Structure formats: structure tokens, C-alpha cells
Chains A and B, each alone.
Chain A
């Protein structure tokens, strides 16, 4: 039996998951110390399941703590930044295009030094070890306790970054070091940005992971702890402590994956209706379709992909105006329970329409002041919003159901165009925690290769094997590991057919 936990800004949810589905669950407020909220949610969820602590095999936690810290500019450390690249790259130094208020937290302690690789693996210049040591001395003098090291083409070869880390740690023994090669993916600037943010979070990540461990300890759970990462797979807690940025996009991924699991299917459109907006996405084989764009976190372009989600201004708190002609995008948001008419407030909201129309039963129907015409018009307006936007996000002709989840799911009682049927899975209010609990572990390989007929098979086989080994290293059982993605993108405008190869494997945890 597994436990999935979602630690959000407002609520901490826990679910107990057995082989056949959800056994118990609990939603509790997130606490300032994080861990006591987790303890209380897990304790009550286990009780709800009628189970015992000794039945728990492992705990999976999804968290938005790190994303929130960056967005709110909280708990960020000043970072020593080293880029191994000279004589290249000086046209765009680190932190270019960053918001000023974030630079105020991070500082401007950046050093460009000799080093880096060419696309074909040659060195641009040898690593300037002396310059790295000098930077280290400066970091120590300025009391900087965390550093980000990025080298050109390090996803292909991380040796220089690792050597620079060694030099840094010789000079400043307790410095925390983040390496860009560990964060994968080509594109120097977004990768460097992610590495810097990662370094800035190094203290918070220690605290958060400690809080998670503390919670498990207090519960008497001596079981493996995993944390969900961006792509919907899991990392070990000690890895998250070193690479907290890998959790940035895990929230929407978990919620969508949890929803399809709860519905017992693999392919679906999903709409998650909250208080102010509806997030619409598409899942294939249990995974959300990824956006082609990079994620912008707190005004910084990172190298992570998010599920391709369209936010539409329709939620439980959406304002209904002009006799139901317009619904949203303005919303009473979290004040729904005080301002909506069905709760005794003075504002007509989308929730009131559903209550007055008789297809939702919350609050007091008799308090809602909306005539039949308004109800019909508002319903048509909401219906149109979903029809158009679900159709927009549905990128193939196949017959797919629509899963309606989230607190605002009660708004919908009609058929939506372009989907086969509308489903409201049970337990969908804790879909996020379920998404964490069902996740697998993964391994990924990315490199530039020169493919020809003679070597194609062996190069692809090697990359597949390496990705599988990484997944096994991350905790997957060898028999369950499979390759789920092989991407080959030719590098244009260069003779010799160099190709960017990316292979990803996933596997199950041994439970």
C-alpha cells in the first residue's frame, strides 16, 4: 500500500492507495512547519482506510513549495555563479533578462572562466582552474554558501563542471554546488537559469526534505520516500534535496495523471475547474501532452517543460453579469463562501447558477436571485467556453472522454462537444496526491550523435540501455523498465548529419 501526499500552498492532501484504488484520504490545511500538516493528513488518511502503519510500503510527496518560494522571492540564497565558456558566450552574461527583484535576492556574483565544449566534444578551451579557484576565494570572502556551475555543452560531457565543483569545494569546503549537467537539456541560458535558481533554493530544499523525513519519522514509517518531479515521475528525496528545481512543474502533472488513474483510463481530455480558472489539458498513455515552450518561473526562462495546459477564465467563483450573457473571467475567488448568493453573499457567481438551475446542491438555493432566462443564458455561456476550449486543446480526432475534476466540477452537467462523454471520477478533489502515489521512476539520456547506416543501431541501443540503467539507478525494478520516448532532431545547417538524441525510460518501484 502506498501513500501519496500533495503539499500545496493552502492544503496538504494525503491518499492511501492499494492495488485496486483509493482506500482512504484526507485534506488538511498546510502548516507553517510543513511536517505537522503532513503527519496529520497521513494519520487521518490511514485511519480513513482502516489500515495500519505497518501496511505502508512507501510514501510519495508532490510539492509546490519550491515553485512558490521563487515566485514569492522567499527563502532564496545569494548564489555564486560560474560559467565555463570563455572565450565564447560573453555577449550574454548570466542573469541577462532576469527581473531586478530576483537579482536582488541572488546577487551579481558571476564569473565567466575559460572552458566548455564544442558540439563534437572538443574543448572550446581548457578549464581555467586558476580562475575557478579565484572565484571560490571571492565567494568565501562574500559569505556565499551555494554555487551554480554551467559549462557549454555539458549535457554531453559534465567532466569540466565536476572538476570545477571539486576546486570550489577545496576552497570552500561546505559550499553547496549545483551542476547544470545534472539538469539536462540543451540550451545554455535556460539551463544556466535553472541551475542558478536551484542553487538559490539549496537551503530551503534541505529544510523541506528534512520536514518530510521528520514527518515520516514521527509517524513511525521507516519506508522509502520519493518526491514527484516535473515529468510526473519520482525522484529519491536525497536527489530532490540537491535538485529541487526538478519539482517545479509537478503540480499540474500530478493532478492530470491522478485524474486519469481515478477514471481508470489512459487517454482523456481533462478539465480541472477551480475557483477562478479552468485548466484544460490532454493525456495520452497516462501522461500529459507537453508544451513546446519552456516554463517561465517567476519571470525566468528555465529549461523545463510543463504539461500543455490552457487556462480559461471559468471557475466556481466566476462573476455572472448582464443577465447571464457573460460569465468570468472576473471571479470572487477564495471569497466564494462569503460572497456567492447561495452562501448569503450579494454576488451572482457561476456556482449560484448551478445551484439555482438545480444541478448542484451546495449552500442555500432559495438565496439565489436569478431568473430562468439568466440561468439558461449563463449555462449556454459556460457551455460555449468549455466546448470551444476543449476542442482547441484536443489535438487529434480520436474519441476521448472529458474528465471533469476540481472544486468547480459541479458547474458542469452537460455534454461537451468533441469528446465522447463527460466523466467525474470519484476522489477527484485529491487527484494531485493520487498522481504522486501512482508515479513511476525514470531515466533520461540526451546527446549529440553523428548517425549513419553503420552505427545507427548500436548508438540507439547504447542510449536506450543507458536510459534504462538510469531508471534502475533511480529505483525502478529492472523487469519493469521500458523506453517511452526516443526523439531524434537533426541539427540543421551543418554537414555530417549531427543529430540531437533524447531517450527516456520509465519503470515501476519494487512494491
Chain B
């Protein structure tokens, strides 16, 4: 499928929805992609199921602070240089790139890379949503090595990270990102077409685009965007979605700890209060002591009227919102997956109960 310029805003809105409150606003990434398409370059999104087993796929992404990105926009060469670092290490050119993370800004970086290099972008990713760290990938869970990791900044600096421990990969790359000025662009988890088929959360780019299309257009079709989102998601591998709470934001509490924005948001309605705890992304929603939804299921706070996703940085007292919870595909719910990004990986005691 060829991505058209008019699809980009849909894809970005859907990516923000899948960001579960985090992942960074895809605004800048969306503009970068539109700029490429306006210049006549093409973006081909390909189905992972149709991939040749022997092809080499190298995912690309950005890491660091989305807030910094809003000021220090990239030159555009960064993710390409990062990809070249991995290619050089492997002695082989990438046949395609793909997202590591479909939620937030990182849905857009591989699209930009695909446009610039003329290589296709695989319709899938390694998180099926947004998570804060590089080891939190279905690729890792299914045994794909994170390294070699190539990382670069706008100044042309590059670094190659080699470690067999994905947690250390995250730790080292995060340190480099600070020295690079708060944002960096990387390529990691190089893998074969066969690996992609086995380890990716599939069809998530087209999923994001469809979610955004529903949010933008359902009103003009005289449909309720929330109803339409729920019925659409029920037909996907995410299988279940529903509005778990509806009310006004009564309180937002935020603090930072080593790169995480920790905090909670309280939403009130006449029947009670829902409290959502977040660690960059929304982790758990409770009402009256009962867990309504918990990570890795997706908890997204949406404008009650427009259904536009609200990222945690822009939550404000008094906003009217609906909270939507979405289940995740089976590959994200395995025992190994839950060890990587289930409740305990975020220090919570609650067991994972999939949304029903």
C-alpha cells in the first residue's frame, strides 16, 4: 500500500491513541513525512505476511524527550546514519525498515526513512502501542537480539552499541542520548523476514491509520467515534475495546524520576472517581478500588467530544474526557511478554487481567 499525504494526519492521530498517553506527540514526525511526500518521494507500506524470509529488515526510531524534539527538530539524516551504522556492522544493506513502536512519534520515523531511502516500511512493530524502554519489545521476547544498535544525532556523531543484554542496550543508549542533546535516533533489532513474521505485532501502521480516520471522520458520517472505534477494534487482533470511564479531570499529579514522568490523573463523574496512574504511559485505571484496566492493555484518555487522544503532558484540570481501554494481541500477553512489560515490570503488585 502506498501512503498518501492525506493519510498522514490519520496515521498520526491513531499513533497518539496507541501511545496510551505517552510516546510523544507525532506532530513533528508527521510534518517530516508530509514534507517528503510533498517533495514527490514515495512510501510503500508492505504486509509482513508477504515478506521473503531472507530479507533484512532494520527498524528505526527516535529516543529521548519529545519536548526537546519540539525545539530541536532533526536534520533528517540522523535515523539514516543510525541505520547505516547497523548495515556496516552487518555488512549488508536493509531491504526494508519498520517501527519499533507504533504508539506516538515513533510510528513516523521509519516512514520518513523509507521515503528518503526508497525502501519499503513493514506494517507492524515491536510494541503494538508505546512503552518507555528499548528492551520492551516483542522482538526481544521472541528471541531477536537488540544489537547491533546504531545511534546518531544531528551533528553527524554516531555510535555503535554492542551488548547481548537488551537492558544494558537501553541503559547505554539512554546515556548516549543525553550527550547527544536530549534526543537521538537509532536503528536496532536487525532481523530477517522470517523473524519479523514470528516476532512482530502485525498490521499496526494500517491499524493506526484506520483509528485516526475514525476519530477524524466518524462525526461527518453521523457516527459516534467511540462506538465506531470499539466496533472496529473488535475486528482486529486487539479484539476488545470499550469506554471504561467518562467524566471531567479533577486532578493531575506529576513528578519526575530518572526520565519517567510519574503521576496520576483523577477523573470524576457523579457516580464516582477513576484514578489512572502513569509512568510516561498510562499503566492502570482504578475506580472504587476495582481495576478497570492494566498494562499491557492500552488505556487512552480521549477528548469526550472529538475523541482526539490527549497525551499526559497536555492533561489539564477540567477537561471532559472519556477513557478508552483496548486489549492487546496474544503475542503481547504471553508469560514472557508480561515479564517484559506486564504490571510487575512497572513495579505494580496487581496481576494482569486482560480486558474483557
Contacts and interface: CB of A to CB of B under 8 A. Distances in A.
A493 B318 contact: no
Interface string A469-504: 000000000000000000011111111111110000
Interface stretch (B41-49, B195-203, B237-245, B257-265): B257-265
A89 interface: yes
A209 to B, nearest CB: 31
Contacts of B154: 87-89, 124
B299 to A, nearest CB: 17
B216 interface: no
Contacts of A96: 31, 35
A85 B181 CA distance: 13
A121 to B, nearest CB: 11
Interface in B16-65: 22, 24, 28, 31-32, 34-35, 63-65
Contacts of A90: 75-76
Nearest to A156: B71
A135 B259 CA distance: 40
Interface string A122-149: 1011000000000000000000000000
Given A492-B313, A495-B258, A499-B256, A89 B74 contact: yes
Given A91-B75, A187-B71, A493 B320 contact: no
Given A395-B320, A493-B66, A92 B32 contact: yes
A186 interface: yes
- Among B70, B75, B258, B260, chain A packs the most CB atoms within 10 A around the CB of B75
A124 B156 contact: no
B259 A495 contact: yes
A395 B174 CA distance: 39
Nearest to B249: A395
A97 B256 contact: no
Nearest to B75: A90
Interface string B292-328: 0000000000000100000011101111100000000
Interface stretch (A26-34, A71-79, A112-120, A345-353): A112-120
B73 A188 contact: yes
B329 interface: no
Nearest to A86: B75
Contacts of B156: 87
A122 B71 CA distance: 14
B256 A89 contact: no
A152 interface: yes
Given A91-B75, A491-B182, A495-B259, 13 more contacts: A86-B75, A88-B74, A90-B76, A92-B73, A118-B182, A189-B70, A292-B314, A489-B254, A490-B261, A493-B132, A493-B280, A494-B65, A494-B177
A395 B70 CA distance: 29
A493 B305 contact: no
B72 interface: yes
6 contacts: A119-B68, A188-B70, A189-B28, A490-B256, A495-B258, A499-B256
B334 interface: no
B221 interface: no
A127 to B, nearest CB: 15
B73 A89 contact: yes
Q: Of residues B72, B155, B320, which shows the largest number of chain A Cβ atoms within 10 Å of its Cβ? A: B72
Interface of B: 22, 24, 28, 31-32, 34-35, 63-68, 70-76, 112, 132, 154-156, 174, 177-178, 181-182, 248, 254-261, 280, 305, 312-314, 316-320
Contacts of B259: 492-496
A88 B260 contact: no
A251 B305 CA distance: 26
Contacts of B248: 395-396
A interface, size bucket: 35 or more
* Chain B contact residues: helix, strand, loop or mixed: mixed
Given A187-B71, A289-B318, A495-B259, A97 B34 contact: yes
Given A92-B35, A186-B67, A493-B280, A118 B72 contact: yes
Nearest to A188: B71
A489 B313 contact: yes
A88 B73 contact: yes
Nearest to A155: B71
Contacts of B72: 85, 88-89, 116, 118-119, 124, 152-153, 188
B352 to A, nearest CB: 24
Contacts of B74: 88-89, 91
A489 B313 CA distance: 7
A392 interface: yes
A493 B63 contact: yes
A186 B25 CA distance: 14
A392 B320 contact: yes
A89 to B, nearest CB: 4
Contact of A119 (B112, B181, B260, B316): B181
Given A119-B72, A152-B71, A292-B314, A492 B305 contact: no
A91 B254 contact: no
Contacts of A189: 28, 31, 70, 73
Contacts of B28: 92, 189
A87 B181 CA distance: 13
Given A92-B73, A152-B71, A396-B318, A494 B182 contact: yes
Contacts of A492: 22, 65-67, 256, 259-261, 280, 312-313
Contacts of A489: 67, 254, 313
A99 to B, nearest CB: 14
Contacts of A85: 72-73
A495 B63 CA distance: 12
B73 A91 contact: yes
Given A492-B260, A494-B64, A494-B65, A88 B318 contact: no
A124 B155 contact: yes
A357 B312 CA distance: 49
A490 B254 contact: yes
Contacts of A88: 72-75, 154
A90 B66 CA distance: 17
Contacts of B254: 488-490
B71 A395 contact: no
A131 B63 CA distance: 31
Contacts of B66: 492-493
Interface in A149-189: 152-153, 186-189
B31 A92 contact: yes
Contacts of A496: 178, 258-259
> Which of A92, A125, A494 has the most C-beta atoms of chain B within 10 angstroms of its own C-beta?
A494
B64 A493 contact: yes
Contacts of A92: 28, 31-32, 35, 73
Interface string A374-406: 000000000000000000100110000000000
B256 A392 contact: no
A187 B70 contact: yes
Contacts of B67: 119, 186, 489, 491-492, 500
Task: List the 10 closest A-B pairs by CB distance, nearest first.
Answer: A395-B318, A91-B76, A490-B256, A88-B154, A89-B73, A492-B261, A118-B181, A497-B256, A494-B65, A495-B259
Contacts of A495: 174, 178, 258-259
Contacts of A488: 254
Given A96-B31, A490-B254, A122 B181 contact: yes
